Amino acid sequence: MTIERVGIVGAGQMGNGIAHVFALAGYEVLLTDISGDALIAAVALIDRNLDRQVGKGLIEPLEKAEAMARIGTTQTLTDLGQTDLIIEAATERETVKQAIFDDLVPHLKPDTILTSNTSSISITRLAARTDRPERFMGFHFMNPVPIMQLVELIRGIATDEPTFKTCEAVVAKLGKTSTASEDFPAFIVNRILMPMINEAIYTLYEGVGSVQSIDTSLKLGANHPMGPLELADFIGLDTCLAIMNVLHDGLADTKYRPCPLLTKYVEAGWLGRKTQRGFYDYRGDVPVPTR
């Protein structure tokens, strides 16, 4: 299958990064969001991030200009129907993703490949609601997309080999590395990462250590580039909670029970960097622990 035009659903943190790397790799990109302001902000952010790459000598000014020219935007979801590959990067809620695919399917070309950037939701279940489960798979980028080198490719039970091979070739053209994961809750990265973050929150909840001591211990004691609580804030505490709930519900093991403190922070609307407060308060010049 030849992929030339790529549709991306959602202009948030993940969607704009995905649009960035596809446009830079030579693909025509159509980015959609229900919010016109979100689309404007996404294009402006892509422009700034490409400028950074130019400033660092990673790309030439002409490459940046050509990439920006390949990015189109629309608030009409069904405009993506004529693209070759669609990557859904909307909110990590299954009902939202299902509604998007329900709306898209009647307008798709017969050979369009559907994918989801979900970090934890069943690919098989999402695919089963479409008319093309054999041409549906998980296409999970890491955040921030322009920097992180990994893409998890997740086959649903019906995903066929040509679809997998096509997506594998796309990842290679992006200059990234793919890994293949089976369709079990949270796949590989988050199956391992999120319980670690959840355990760090339990460590805080039980008073074993403070925010600062926990993050410092993991950075210096395990050589992690970010502490687990700092990383949770970066990911978004609502996303962390959603993934832990998927693991807990899907695997029925108490070791995946979300920490009550994580639930409390989400209830407070303290979701991390995106709301300026989480395990750190980001409203000043320097992040300050909130516990």
β-pair type (136-141, 150-155): antiparallel
Q: Residue 261's closest CA among 184, 192, 188, 208?
A: 208
For residue 119, name the pLDDT band (cuts at 50, 70, 90).
Answer: confident
Catalytic residue, candidates 116, 120, 140, 198: 140
Q: Please, how many CA atoms are within 13 Å of residue 101, restricted to the half-sphere of its CB?
A: 28
pTM of the full structure? 0.89
Q: Check whether 151 has a pLDDT greater than 90.
A: yes
Q: What are phi and psi of 275, to 5 degrees?
A: -115, 10
94 is annotated as an active-site residue: no
Helix intervals (H) in 90-235: 94-104, 123-128, 161-173, 189-205, 211-221, 228-235
Q: What is the pLDDT of residues 71-108, one digit of tens each?
A: 999 999 999 999 999 999 998 889 999 999 999 999 99
Indicate the residue type of 232.
Answer: A
Q: What is the pLDDT of residues 230-279, one digit of tens each?
A: 999 999 999 999 999 999 999 999 999 999 999 999 999 999 999 999 99
Q: What is the pLDDT of residues 17-30, one digit of tens each?
A: 999 999 999 999 99
Q: How many other CB atoms are found less than 10 A from the CB of residue 120?
A: 24
Share of the chain above pLDDT 70, in %: 100
Catalytic residue, candidates 88, 92, 152, 230: 152
Mean pLDDT (the chain, rounded): 96
For 18-62, where are the E strands, in sequence order? 28-32
Rg over alpha carbons for the chain, rounded to the nearest Å, is: 19
Burial 149-185 (b: 16+ CB within 10 A, else e): eebbbbbbebbeeebbebbeebbeebebebeebebbb
Look at the block and give the residue holding tokens 């020219």.
Answer: 69
The pLDDT of 131-157, averaged and rounded, is 96
Residues 117 and 141: beta-carbon distance below 8 Å: yes
213 is annotated as an active-site residue: no
Catalytic residue, candidates 16, 49, 117, 119: 119
pLDDT for 1? 78
The pLDDT of 107-134, averaged and rounded, is 95
pLDDT for 137? 97
152 is annotated as an active-site residue: yes
107 is annotated as an active-site residue: no
In whole angstroms, what is the distance from residue 205 CA to residue 219 CA?
A: 20
pLDDT for 120? 85
In whole angstroms, what is the distance from residue 31 CA to residue 80 CA?
A: 8
pLDDT for 198? 98
Share of the chain above pLDDT 90, in %: 97
In whole angstroms, what is the distance from residue 12 CA to residue 131 CA?
A: 27
Domains of the chain: 5-181 (3.40.50.720), 190-282 (1.10.1040.10)
The pLDDT of 195-212, averaged and rounded, is 98
DSSP-derived 3-state class of residue 177: strand
β-pair type (71-74, 280-281): unpaired
pLDDT for 206? 98
pLDDT for 10? 96
Containing H/E element for 36? Answer: helix 36-55
pLDDT for 93? 87
In whole angstroms, what is the distance from residue 6 CA to residue 167 CA?
A: 12
Q: Check whether 59 has a pLDDT greater than 90.
A: yes
The pLDDT of 10-18, averaged and rounded, is 94
Catalytic residue, candidates 122, 190, 198, 230: 190
